[in-house]
């Protein structure tokens, strides 16, 4: 029985920005007795169906955006006589859909790391179960990825996970409901060993693919202290100490490396943490800004964020400490008006963001917003191409609406057009070049320019544009540019690189004299 792991995508670019980590984690969880899995990432190229033979096991991981393609692959694999296993966040939420539409023999719910060997053993004995409960495993059980299987020349960045779960409860996000609100932190040793393995292969840039890299805020600590919750306080302090330990060890790695993560804006209140990030070579972070007005933040249950001038100041704080921000904004909130688009673009500019993304409010399964939306539409929601709009991911791409949430004052087209205009303005060549002035090296500025344009083409033009010529041009442009751009991120393999020892890591605070590294 051969094992296939497939990351579905209906668009392939030949080169991708970030490695889909789950493929290599499940490869790590595959018992060696089954041999090396055959890995296909369709963001690079489509699977060749001839590769799948009767009796093989095909693992397909899906999220909502690629579920439809995933089901197509499941049916193909089943027709060729393979065992079909679905996993991932969408399959966890809709296991029956994976069976009905994707011909799943088995569905893994939750984390696949520990349960995957059992699934394969059962399949090999012809005793595959319909459901496997992977649950939420602890941080010290996360399986390390098998990076030696990655086609190094196809990806710009690698990805490593350090923590799962997020204590917040934003209404548009499913992370806190699926991965839980209790942060499950991985051991520092395991994280560093994986990163060293990646640098040996020549990866210099690594995304820390975490739900929230800052799981304990100063406010959390203060509240636990004030309320006399001794056990809770000790737990929070341990989590925080381990974060600092990780960052101190990242600082020991070769200085041509860079890391990128996701974090909440509250980290701006914590200069010690930001300094440790900078020293740990965490050069960038995605920060969910979402809205620039207090009402907009209330709309998404994110009133722990700041608005107006306080928001600009907070975002600038990251930059002052040497951490550059990719700000994420949502358009189409009930309180948005035509002025919101201009105001948001102005904040993105004044706050000194390095990158920004502007997404349209979309109800994702597993979120509070989605539940509210589904309930509001009742038992007989509108259908498009024979599919209820509440199962929007099953609507063929060409018929799929761009906006699902009726807005009180603006039409869907108006919101889409204005969103596109904000992307266009933010990613004009001149505007990007100006933004790149924090980078000293000319090659670094060129890399910034190219990655900005690739980012915009991958996510804006192919995501919200309705003009098919524009979408096709964007896909072609990205395909041409991604390959040379990858070289800007690659490093010479360091085959002899050793794992730095914990005792050699200087505690945070002893390294604060280091100037921000902005030259790369």
Interface ranges with ligand SF4 (CB under 6 A):
166, 168-170, 173, 175-176, 211-212, 264, 288
d(CA 354, CA 373): 34
Q: Which two tokens stand for residue 26?
A: 């499940």
State the minimum distance, in angstroms, from the CB of residue 180 to ligand SF4: 11
- Closest CB to ligand SF4 among 177 and 350? 177
State the minimum distance, in angstroms, from the CB of residue 428 to ligand SF4: 28
Q: How many residues does the chain have?
A: 520
Q: Provide the 8-state DSSP code for 188.
A: H
From residue 166, give the alpha-carbon distance in Å to each of 12, 169, 174, 196, 303: 31, 8, 10, 26, 16
Helix (H, G, I), strand (E, B) or coil at 441: coil
Q: Summarize the chain as % helix, strand, coil (round to 5).
A: 50, 15, 35
- Closest CB to ligand SF4 among 60 and 267? 267
Half-sphere exposure of 370 (CA within 13 A, CB side): 17
Q: Are 446 and 459 in contact (CB under 8 A)?
A: no
- Closest CB to ligand SF4 among 197 and 362? 362
- Closest CB to ligand SF4 among 117 and 180? 180
475, with CB counted inside 10 A (0-12, 13-18, 19+), is middle
What is the distance, to the nearest Å, from the Cα of residue 398 to the centroid of all Cα atoms in its chain? 25
- Closest CB to ligand SF4 among 77 and 170? 170
Smallest Cα–Cα separation from 135: which of 160, 109, 116, 161? 109
The vertex-90 CA angle with 355 and 76, nearest 5°, equals 110
State the minimum distance, in angstroms, from the CB of residue 427 to ligand SF4: 23
State the minimum distance, in angstroms, from the CB of residue 238 to ligand SF4: 20
Q: What residues contact 448, with CB distance under 8 A and at least 6 apart?
A: 354, 432, 435, 436, 439
State the minimum distance, in angstroms, from the CB of residue 217 to ligand SF4: 11
- Closest CB to ligand SF4 among 75 and 298? 298
State the minimum distance, in angstroms, from the CB of residue 142 to ligand SF4: 18
- Closest CB to ligand SF4 among 203 and 355? 355
State the minimum distance, in angstroms, from the CB of residue 326 to ligand SF4: 13
Q: Are 119 and 157 in contact (CB under 8 A)?
A: no
- Closest CB to ligand SF4 among 8 and 167? 167
State the minimum distance, in angstroms, from the CB of residue 305 to ligand SF4: 9
Q: What residues contact 196, with CB distance under 8 A and at least 6 apart?
A: 253, 497, 498, 499, 500
Strand partners, 205: 258
Half-sphere exposure of 62 (CA within 13 A, CB side): 34
- Closest CB to ligand SF4 among 13 and 22? 22
- How are beta strands 324-331 and 155-160 bridged, if at all? unpaired
State the minimum distance, in angstroms, from the CB of residue 254 to ligand SF4: 30
Q: Are 281 and 254 in contact (CB under 8 A)?
A: no
State the minimum distance, in angstroms, from the CB of residue 166 to ligand SF4: 3
- Closest CB to ligand SF4 among 180 and 352? 180
């Amino acid at each position: 029985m051969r094992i296939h792991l497939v990351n579905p995508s209906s668009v392939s670019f030949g080169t991708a920005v970030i490695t889909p980590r789950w493929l290599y984690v499940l490869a790590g969880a595959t018992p060696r007795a089954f041999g090396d899995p055959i890995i296909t990432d369709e963001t690079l190229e489509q699977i060749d169906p001839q590769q799948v033979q009767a009796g093989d096991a095909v693992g397909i991981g899906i999220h909502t955006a690629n579920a439809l393609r995933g089901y197509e692959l499941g049916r193909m694999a089943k027709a060729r006589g393979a065992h079909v296993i679905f996993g991932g966040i969408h399959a966890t939420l809709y296991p029956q859909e994976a069976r009905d539409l994707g011909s799943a023999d088995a569905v893994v719910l939750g984390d696949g790391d520990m349960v995957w060997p059992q699934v394969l053993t059962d399949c090999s004995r012809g005793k595959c179960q319909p459901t496997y409960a992977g649950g939420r495993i602890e941080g010290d059980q996360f399986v390390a990825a098998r990076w030696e299987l990655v086609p190094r020349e196809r990806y710009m960045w690698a990805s490593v996970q350090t923590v799962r779960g997020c204590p917040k409860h934003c209404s548009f996000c499913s992370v806190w409901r699926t991965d839980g609100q209790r942060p499950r932190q991985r051991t520092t040793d395991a994280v560093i060993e994986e990163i060293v393995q990646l640098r040996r292969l020549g990866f210099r840039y690594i995304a820390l693919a975490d739900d929230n890299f800052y799981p304990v805020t100063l406010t959390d600590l203060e509240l636990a202290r004030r309320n006399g919750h001794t056990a809770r306080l000790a737990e929070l302090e341990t989590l925080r100490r381990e974060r600092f330990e990780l960052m101190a060890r990242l600082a020991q790695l070769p200085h041509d490396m860079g890391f990128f993560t996701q974090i909440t804006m509250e980290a701006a209140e914590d200069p010690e943490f930001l300094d440790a990030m900078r020293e740990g070579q965490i050069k960038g972070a995605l920060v969910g800004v979402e809205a620039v007005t207090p009402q907009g933040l209330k709309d998404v249950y994110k009133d722990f964020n700041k608005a107006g001038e306080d928001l600009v100041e907070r975002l600038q704080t990251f930059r002052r400490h040497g951490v550059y921000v990719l700000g994420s904004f949502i358009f189409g909130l009930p309180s948005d008006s035509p002025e919101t688009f201009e105001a948001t673009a102005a904040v993105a500019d004044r706050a000194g963001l390095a990158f920004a993304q502007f997404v349209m409010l979309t109800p994702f399964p597993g979120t509070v917003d989605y539940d509210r939306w589904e309930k509001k539409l009742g038992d007989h929601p509108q259908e498009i191409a024979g599919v209820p709009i509440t199962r929007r991911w099953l609507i063929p791409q060409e018929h799929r609406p761009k906006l699902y949430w009726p807005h009180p004052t603006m039409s869907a087209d108006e919101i889409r057009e204005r969103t596109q205009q904000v992307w266009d303005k933010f990613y004009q060549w001149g505007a990007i070049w100006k933004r790149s002035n924090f980078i000293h090296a000319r090659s670094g500025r060129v890399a910034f320019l190219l990655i900005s344009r690739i980012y915009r083409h991958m996510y804006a033009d192919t995501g919200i544009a309705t003009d098919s010529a524009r979408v096709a041009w964007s896909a072609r442009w990205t395909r041409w540019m991604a390959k040379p751009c990858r070289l800007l991120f690659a490093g010479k393999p360091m085959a002899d690189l050793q794992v730095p020892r914990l005792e050699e890591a200087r505690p945070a605070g002893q390294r604060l004299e280091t100037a921000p590294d902005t030259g790369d």
